[in-house]
Each structure stands twice: as structure tokens, then as C-alpha cells.
Amino acid sequence: MKKKDIIDIEIKDLEFPAKGIGFYEDKKVYVKNAVVGQVVRVCIQKVRKDHAEGKLMEVVKPSLVETKSFCSHFGRCGGCARQTLPYEEQLKIKENAVKKLLEEANIKGYEFLGIEKSPEVYEYRNKMEYSFGNEEKGGELNLGMHKKGKFYDVVTVDECKIVDEDFNKILKEILIYCRANEIPLYNNRSHEGYLRHLIVRKAKKTKEIIVNLITSTQMNLNLQELVEKIRKLSLKGHVVGFLHTLNDNLADAVVPDETKVIWGEDYFTEELLGLKFKISAFSFFQTNSLGAEKLYSMVLDFMEDAKDKVVFDLYCGTGTIGQIVAKKAKKVMGIELVEEAVQAANENAIMNNLKNCTFIAGDVFKKIDELKVKPDIIILDPPRVGVHPKALQKIIRYNSPEIVYVSCNPKTLAQNLIDLQEAGYQVKKVKCMDMFPHTPHCEVICLLQRAER
């Protein structure tokens, strides 16, 4: 086997999150987004001593359980790679992948409580970050997602099924306006041009929407006409703010240099489990609101008794978990890196009439030293990279009897659990929560208790 060979292989296994594994001439071949049971045509891209990597070109034979895709963008859009699998099958795959990762990390002796379904399988997302681009060099302006397997190309996704119709209408209106006015696209290679990204966020419960257009500073465009068009759209929800973020960073990512409020507010409000949360433009908030209610209820269930207890909510975002727990606990202390999220967290606590919560801005690694109280329970909800090993050592030194770990990446969770287990914590319960139907991602909750010495 050599680079650029085209081969057909059957996918026999899966490596989390989305690498299908097949064999050719006794060599393991990894194929991103291939599903177990499929026969796939693959173009070999890398050949190493013990394995090869290939790009999926075509599904020659679907797996026996596969059905038709439900979205008109399937195949071109890079999202929702698992949509040809029935939802129950998707859940089974996620559950098994998590169990396998924990087994490989030698995490033992826990009760596995299965996987919970997302309350909605379609229209579940409350946030989309779209890119401006084109499908081929010099092609028509598009607004949507990166094309499957491509770094630069973008396909318009105005019929996306994991967001509701309001997202698609807003996307369409903005694209029509930008095309009609010939507003130049920002070119990610030459770094010239204007239009870069569009972020739309919509609360499930309050139906409030904020729209954030992200451009370079290379033009000075009056956005009032566009704002009026968006405000006049017939939507199920209502737009509460139109923002304009300036971003001259060279990376193809939304890095806000400055955000201006063109109209309305710079935040929207969502409700979870009876509490209200003001969410600012760039604050983290779970992308599946109804799923988040289930996830946070699971956190409450895992904390068998928080009454009169001091709880640390580390990596707290806008303080959602901490405030939901605060109804039961004596005191909640949260730490979060993004300053505006912390400000919102403290405002949210006041709005929710919770007097026992304090949220602090900064890196957990540094700020944890400033917490002078001793925690009875530590909640960890780190980003995908997991808890940094040095921060984890400080967390371990608090000697908290219980840790509830909420993870959006079972791979880094498994790594952190190895260290926690070594430090004397025992994993008691593990449960998965599917927050991201049709994708390979999965949220996992673990209860750890300090072993009796």
C-alpha cells in the first residue's frame, strides 16, 4: 500500500470520536467518518509502519442498519456525519465508545448507567457559527459550513435540520443582502476582504435571538438596512440584538477584537430548570438547551446530598451548574476564564435571587489558590482539552470527598480519571448524555468519591 492508492475496505471498528478502522494487507487503516459495517472506497494519504490513514471517497456499500439521510446538504456539508444511522444505533455507538475508552484507561469498579437521549433529535441547536466562503475559488458567495473534508470551501446550509427555521431564514436573508450588495468575502489565504462569519444564537424557552456578523476592519459598512431586514423577518422567535464583531486575526476563527451593538442588546436570556440566564455574545452556553436541563438534572442526582455543603463549580461558564446546585447547597464558588461570562454569572445569580453564589474570573490553575473555603463537592466541567494536569493536582490537594466531572470529551476525561484514580479517588458512577445527535460527540458525567484511607 502506498500514498494515493485507492482501495475498498470494510470498516470493522471505531476509534472515538469518528475514526473508522478497516484492514488492508494486514495493516490497520483509519478512515474519518466511516461507520462500522460500511464498505468504503478510500484514498490513502499516509502510510506508517503500523497503520495507514485514508480519506473517505465513497460509501460502496452501506452498513446493514443505515437508512437514508434526512438533510439536503448531506454529503457536501461537513456536519451531521452520523445521520444515516437510526438514532438508537447512534446512541449505542456512543455508549460503547465511552465504555471502551474507560476500559482502555483501566477505569474499573463503577456503575455504568447507560446513555440518555437528547430531548430533541432535530432543531436542537441554540447556536450556529457559520462561515462566509465559496465552494470553489472565485465561485458565488456562500454562507454556511465548511465542505466535507475541505479546509477552505464553504457550502450554504439554508435547510439545516438541526436548527429551527429561524436560523435558516436569517442565514438566507443575510446571504441575499450580501450577494445583492456585492459585499466582498474575506479571503483566508490573502487575508483581504470583509465578510468572515455569522453567529446566530436563539434561546429555546424565551425564543430570544441575537445575530452577530463578524467581519474584518477593511471596510466601513452601514449595517442599518440589513438590521431592518432581519427585524422585519417573520420568525417564530424575536431578534433582541444585532451585533457587529470586528476580527482581523489571521486564523479562520472568530477572535473578537471589538464587538459593537448595532441594534438592541448584546445578550439574550435563556431559562433552564426554572432559572434565568443572561448569555453574552461570546459566553459559553450548552448548545442544546433542553439537553442541558437533562444534563444538569443528572449532576444534581449524582450529588446525592448537597445540603449544607460547599460546592466548587470549576470552569463554570455563565454559572449554570453552580446556580442549579445552589438551591440545595450552602455555598457555591465558581471559576471561569472568560470575564464577561463571570460578570453574567454574578448578574444571573442576583436575577435568580441566589445569595450563596460567587463567581470569579481567571484560570482555574491560578484562581483556585484564592479560594479560602474547603469544598465538600467539586464540579468539573472543563473544555474539550480536559483539566490541565497541573490544575488537576491542585484540585486533588483540596481533598474534596466528592467530585462530579462533566465532560464533553471522553478521551480527555479518561486521561484525567487515571490521575484522579491514582490520587485515591474511585469512579462510582458514569452516565452518558447525548447532547449532539447525528454527530460523534457525547457528554459524560462521572461521580468520584475519595476512597476511605
Q: Which of 118, 215, 247, 320 binds ligand SAM (CB under 6 A)?
A: 320
Cβ atoms of 382 and 315 within 8 Å: the answer is yes
Q: How far is CA 85 from CA 75, 261, 450, in A?
A: 14, 42, 40
Cβ atoms of 341 and 284 within 8 Å: the answer is yes
Is 408 in the active site? yes
Examine residue 16 and tell whether it contacts ligand SAM (CB under 6 A): no
Give the span between the Cα atoms of 248 and 131, in whole angstroms.
Answer: 15
- CA geometry: angle 216, 217, 222, nearest 5 deg: 100
Could you say which of 77, 408, 442, 446 is catalytic? 408
Q: What is the DSSP letter of 35?
A: -
Nearer to ligand SAM, 93 or 408 (CB): 408
Looking at beta carbons, which residue is closest to ligand SAM? 317
Closest approach of Cβ 316 to ligand SAM, in Å?
5
Q: Which of 363, 393, 399, 401 binds ligand SAM (CB under 6 A)?
A: 363
Nearer to ligand SAM, 9 or 430 (CB): 430
Give the span between the Cα atoms of 174 and 243, in whole angstroms.
Answer: 13
Strand order in the sheet with 331-336: 111-116, 425-433, 443-450, 402-407, 377-380, 310-314, 331-336, 357-361
x-or-dash pattern for ligand SAM, window 332-361, by CB under 6 A? Answer: ---xxxx--x--------------------
Give the span between the Cα atoms of 360 and 35, in whole angstroms.
Answer: 43
x-or-dash pattern for ligand SAM, window 401-440, by CB under 6 A? Answer: -------x--------------------------------
Give the span between the Cα atoms of 308 and 327, in whole angstroms.
Answer: 10
Q: Which window, 101-109, 189-197, 316-324, 438-446, contacts ligand SAM (CB under 6 A)?
A: 316-324
Nearer to ligand SAM, 33 or 283 (CB): 283
Nearer to ligand SAM, 316 or 433 (CB): 316
Q: How many CB atoms lie within 10 A of CB 103?
A: 11
Examine residue 371 and tell whether it contacts ligand SAM (CB under 6 A): no
> What residues between 235 and 294 interact with ligand SAM by CB under 6 A?
284-286
Q: Which residues are designated catalytic?
A: 408
**Residues forming the site for ligand SAM (CB under 6 A):** 284-286, 315-317, 320-321, 335-338, 341, 363-364, 381-383, 408
